[in-house]
A and B are shown apart, each in its own frame.
Chain A
Amino acid sequence: MKVNVKIKRFNPEADKRPYWSEYSLDVRETDRVLDVINQIKWEMDGSLSYRRSCAHGICGSDAMLINGVNRLACKILVKDLGAEISVEPIRGLPVLKDLIVDMEPFFDSYKAVLPFFINEDPEPPTERYQSPEDREIFDATTKCILCAACTTSCPVFWTNGRYIGPAAIVNAHRFIFDSRDHGADERLQIMNQSNGLWRCRTAYNCTEACPRDIPITKAIEEVKRELLWRRA
């Protein structure tokens, strides 16, 4: 089928401001948007720049604003969008070139929540035991692929780039609710700071944007409640 694709472009070496490029091409309905973008790059315009790697929604490289919604380009098919497709970089992070944004501020927020296992007890000779029920509590938040689709769909983040954002809270949740981990107090204190989780206004954009179907707003609420209970 024929599609018209509009892509927001910006080359820092040549352009003062972003502009739209339009392409018209034949694709299959079952193509991923990433396939379409690849086809444009490989056959029509080699300079088009974007990140991609695994092409099936696991590596988190290709989060983009597609027809106004944050998605992974490799996880949305042409037939689900129709013949008019628009692609822009995700919002709230500095654009470096075309669809490539500076991910450093995003990873800095992630790193700020101590996103690693903390348990200084002596290690047992076998695995640490954990019941399937305890494991289930934080199952959803272990799925995060750090694609930034959630954080860059958050209106609070758009207006305040220092807000740690949903992705960082999701990763804090993954450890706070892990029965084996001992770092919850420290992480909750970080969450409680001025640009921490109280900035969340439950807009639900993050939950809708997540390509891994993590119930992000629910996870954020769980962390909020945990913080209140521990204070009480």
Chain B
Amino acid sequence: MSRAHKYDVIVVGAGGAGLMAARYAAQNPNVTVAVISKLYPTRSHTGAAQGGVGAALGNVTEDYPEWHAFDTVKGGDYLTDQDVAEMFAYDVIESVIELEHMGLPFSRTPEGKIAQRKFGGHTREFGKSAVERACYAADRTGHMILQTLYQQSIKDNVIFFNEFHVLDILMVDGECRGVVAYELATGELHTFQAKSTIIASGGNGRMFKVTSNAHALTGDLQSVVYRRGIPIEDPEFYQFHPTGLYKIGVLLTEGARGEGGILRNKDGERFMERYAPTIKDLAPRDMVSRSMYLEIREGRGAGPDNDYILLDLTHIDGHIIEERLPDITEFARIYLGVDPIREPVPVQPTAHYAMGGIPTTIDTNVIMDGQNTIVPGLYAAGEVACASLHGANRLGTNSLGDLIVFGRRAGRFASKYAEKRDFPDLPSDAQDFSRNLLDKALNGSGTEKVATIRKELQNTMMDNASVFRTDELLGKQIEIVKELQERYKQIGVEDKGKQYNTELMEALELGFLLDNAEQLVYAAFNRKESRGAHSHEDYKDRDDENWLKHTLVYKADKGVQIDYKPVTLGKYEPKPRVY
């Protein structure tokens, strides 16, 4: 295979956002498109999403996009850009219908429409009560989205470079001209020259010990662009999903509570009644995760070590559980030996989703700074990106919505840009940076082990920078991350081979992951307030006067630098967030 490639549009990542972007880019007959993915496309973590995709179809009860937009803004603790939320709430309706037209096998209402159920933070009439907005396919909605989009990509003859690991983006004169990727099968570097590059490579949850995220989710591109001077927006806002399986973090959908599931402490008390009297167990995830931690901290956790909470589905008809929640029922049975139909399931908050990411405009153009200066030729969509839809806390189901809405926009805008542009030249040293990364990992002294550093990172991030934060713990974690970065320079790999050197790949991923941790802890230490998922015990209140602004974290020569970007406000005035 030739190692120099040329496509009008390159998509990095083959999950929901990447496949949607590729599909839309390819609909433009004047451009060529290829997708580069670290995994086979169907292995992408979109497939692990369970509960549904929120869209105000109103199939079960009355619903309107205005309500959805409001819920998204309030759910994001008013850090959501309101123009983005409004566009999204309308666009996601069209996108869901489009998925159905692509054949997605949604569950159905008795009349044959797309079935919908309740989900956290989604309400009718601006907060009055929970509303059925999550369009679902049993509890494998993400799987069905991923499969459907991959099926369409076969129909559309999309070109894939599977098991190619992107190590660098080619920035020349402030614009992006493509990427460099490492082919896992051969150990060769490939250069991809592109007029438009779309980044859709997913999240970074593997920096935490307990996570719902796949092993592959190491924030590679969040680091690659950061090393090239592009900032990361709002990385301090990291979502912990309330219901991960105890100790292993495997996700149990919020849809379980949407179907009537209840969280209980060791006394059997439905404690969410105290924290969110109106919507109780269906409060947004940041609030529920905090409430669970507080219950545990105050000695009301269940189990021999009083360190978990119980997700109780036993009062729900067993047939409904088997029909609408079959996968999570199986997870509980296999991994914990607990049958949810008969007994409550031990759960704990699990690291789940990055609200922040590579900053983009509403049109998915990557931006450089607080003045929205666009990086020509570079686009981002999905979890890796931050269009500021989710603000300080994402609502359940809005991640799948994000993928299809922003993936589609990225494909459209990136192909339109590519169409009117010639191929820009690549520098002759295009691969040097990547080659250097590989050489360092392959030829390092080996006095440090990748697995050891990674484990220390995951343990300390969990202890010092997860649901509750303090100045002291974050300050400590900054020092720990610095120390781990130093030690990382001394890693080595035993496997010096070229073919499927997965040890080398893990070493590179850890380097990326450390950058992600750096972004998160610096931004979290810097933000002296509590907002959404960033819960700071030394600054317990939201401080709109000083902190109603987005963080931008840069890697500069003299260390980590922080800047800000204003929040786009709109008709929803910031108010105290009660549910």
Contact = CB atoms under 8 A, between A and B. Distances in A.
Interface in A141-188: 142-146, 174-175, 178, 180-181
Interface stretch (A1-9, A131-139, A200-208): A131-139
Contacts of A32: 335
Interface string B122-154: 000000000000000110100110011001101
A222 B413 CA distance: 45
A98 B451 CA distance: 20
A130 interface: yes
Contacts, number: 151
A128 B497 contact: no
Given A56-B48, A97-B500, A145-B143, A127 B114 contact: yes
B89 to A, nearest CB: 18
A127 B137 CA distance: 14
A47 B502 CA distance: 8
A115 B42 CA distance: 13
A143 B138 CA distance: 10
Contact of B154 (A55, A59, A111, A142): A111
A117 B44 CA distance: 21
A190 interface: no
B172 interface: no
A77 B500 CA distance: 26
B578 interface: no
Given A47-B494, A135-B105, A135-B108, A96 B43 contact: no
Interface stretch (A10-18, A83-91, A191-199): A10-18
Interface in B531-550: none
Contacts of A143: 140, 143
B103 A116 contact: yes
Given A59-B45, A146-B42, A47 B214 contact: no
Given A43-B451, A55-B214, A178-B105, A127 B100 contact: yes
A119 B331 CA distance: 35
A58 interface: yes
B417 interface: no
Contacts of A145: 42, 47, 143
A175 B154 CA distance: 15
A123 interface: yes
Interface in A14-66: 14, 30, 32, 41-43, 45-47, 49-61
Interface in B179-236: 185, 214-216
B152 A116 contact: yes
B494 A46 contact: yes
B102 interface: yes
Given A100-B500, A116-B155, A123-B101, A56 B250 contact: yes
B413 to A, nearest CB: 23
Interface string A92-103: 000011101001
A130 B148 contact: no
Contact of B100 (A52, A55, A128, A139): A128
A60 B45 CA distance: 11
A75 interface: yes
A144 B106 CA distance: 15
Contacts of A49: 495, 500-503
A128 to B, nearest CB: 6
A229 interface: no
Interface in B93-109: 97, 100-103, 105-109
Nearest to B449: A42
A53 B108 CA distance: 31
Contacts of A180: 103
A53 B449 CA distance: 21
Contacts of B140: 58, 142-143
B61 interface: no
Interface string B415-458: 00000000000000000000000000000000001110000000
Contacts of B143: 58, 143, 145
A150 to B, nearest CB: 15
Nearest to A141: B105
B495 A117 contact: no
B47 A117 contact: no
Contact of A127 (B40, B97, B138, B154): B97
Contacts of B110: 132
A7 to B, nearest CB: 14
Nearest to B43: A59
A30 B332 CA distance: 12
Most B Cβ at <10 Å: residue of A54, A55, A174 = A54
Contacts of A139: 105, 138
B487 interface: no
B374 interface: no
A115 B503 contact: no
A84 B39 CA distance: 31
Contacts of B45: 53-54, 59
B307 to A, nearest CB: 16
Contacts of A213: 330
B334 interface: yes
B113 interface: yes
B561 interface: no
Contacts of B144: 142
A52 B331 CA distance: 17
A131 B105 contact: no
A75 B334 contact: yes
A128 B98 CA distance: 10
Interface in B481-518: 493-495, 497-503
B498 A13 contact: yes
B112 interface: yes
A226 B14 CA distance: 34
B35 to A, nearest CB: 14
A13 B494 contact: no
A14 B114 contact: no
Q: Which of A11, A51, A119, A213 has the most CB of B within 10 A?
A: A51
A123 B101 CA distance: 7
Nearest to B135: A127
Given A46-B493, A56-B48, A142-B144, A115 B154 contact: yes
B503 A128 contact: no
Contacts of A181: 103
B111 interface: yes
A64 B526 CA distance: 47
A14 B497 contact: yes
B445 to A, nearest CB: 15
The 6 A-B residue pairs whose C-beta atoms are closest, nearest first, are A117-B103, A42-B451, A129-B112, A47-B495, A116-B151, A46-B494
5 contacts: A58-B47, A96-B499, A135-B105, A135-B108, A142-B105
Given A56-B48, A59-B39, A60-B43, 8 more contacts: A47-B497, A49-B495, A59-B47, A60-B42, A96-B500, A97-B500, A111-B154, A129-B112
